[in-house]
Amino acid sequence: MSRTRTPVVTGWFAGEGDDFRLLGTRCSACTSVFFPREDAFCRNPGCPGGELVEVPLSPRGRVWSYTDSRYRPPSPYVTDPELSWEPYTLIAVELESERIVVLGQAAPGITVADLTVGMEVVVVPGVLNEDAETTWTTWHWQPTGVAA
């Protein structure tokens, strides 16, 4: 039986391959950008409030910092308790034009030893976990090979 591919959160990212993007919203009045997306109200206290329009975020950014998770996180993170725990890497990435830092898991196989602060990374589609019916999709950060 084939699984349905479903984003772990609706509306946070879209696209395939090179066209994959994180999706935020931008205020039409003050141009503030929000990720995770704000759809009801602009959070800039100096803004009278504008229409919030979906906008793709820059796919490339630079590593602000990074770490990993050497122990199994608690629920609602989904893991298979039957399998031994494989640490994964977390990267906080600064997007230059949006001037925002976005956290994400690194692509599988990337460890902290592969990273430095300032290194360029690109957002790529990834899989968070699978259950009987569903492949839950997410975003990953992948180094581009461009150094700090």
Partner 1 sequence: MTGEVAVLGVGMHPWGKWGRGFVEYGVTAARTALADAGIDWRDIGSIVGADTVRGGYPGYVAGATFAKALGWQGARVASVYAACASGAQALNTARAQILAGLADVVLVVGADAAPKGFFRPAGGDRPDDPDWLRFRVLGATNPTYFGLYARRRMALYADTLEDFAQVKVKNAALGALNPHARYRKKVTAEEVAGSAVVADPLRLLDICATSDGGAAVVLSSMDFARRHGAAGPVRIRAVSTVTPSYPNTVLDLPDIATDSAAAVRPADGTFRASIARAAYEEAGIGPEDLSLAEVYDLSTALELQWYEDLGLCGEGEAVKLLREGATSLGGRIPVNVSGGLASFGEAVPAQAIAQVCELTWQLRGSAGDRQVAGARVGITANQGLFGHGSSVVAVR
Q: Which residues bind partner 1 (CB under 8 A)?
A: 8-10, 27, 30-36, 43-46, 64-71, 73-78, 88, 90, 92, 97-105, 112, 116-118, 128, 138
Sign of CA dihedral 92, 63, 96, 99: positive
Residue number, 1 or 131, with CB nearest to partner 1: 131
Instruction: Select the binding partner of residue 76 from Zn ion, partner 1, none (C-beta < 5 to 8 A, by kind).
Output: partner 1
Instruction: Select the binding partner of residue 120 from Zn ion, partner 1, none (C-beta < 5 to 8 A, by kind).
Output: none
Task: Report the candidate in 10, 30, 39 with the shortest Cα–Cα distance to residue 138.
Answer: 10
Q: Which two tokens stand for residue 79?
A: 């893991």
CB 28 within 8 A of CB 50: yes
- DSSP per-residue string spanning 54-123: EEEPPSEEEEEEEEEE-SPPPTTS---TTSPP--EEEEEEEETTTTEEEEEEEPTT--GGG--TT-EEEE
Instruction: Select the binding partner of residue 13 from partner 1, Zn ion, none (C-beta < 5 to 8 A, by kind).
Output: none
- The residues of the shown chain that bind Zn ion, judged by CB under 5 A, are 27, 29-30, 32, 42, 44, 47, 50
CB of 132 to Zn ion, least distance (A): 43
Q: What is the DSSP letter of 3?
A: P
Instruction: Select the binding partner of residue 124 from partner 1, Zn ion, none (C-beta < 5 to 8 A, by kind).
Output: none
CB of 127 to partner 1, least distance (A): 12
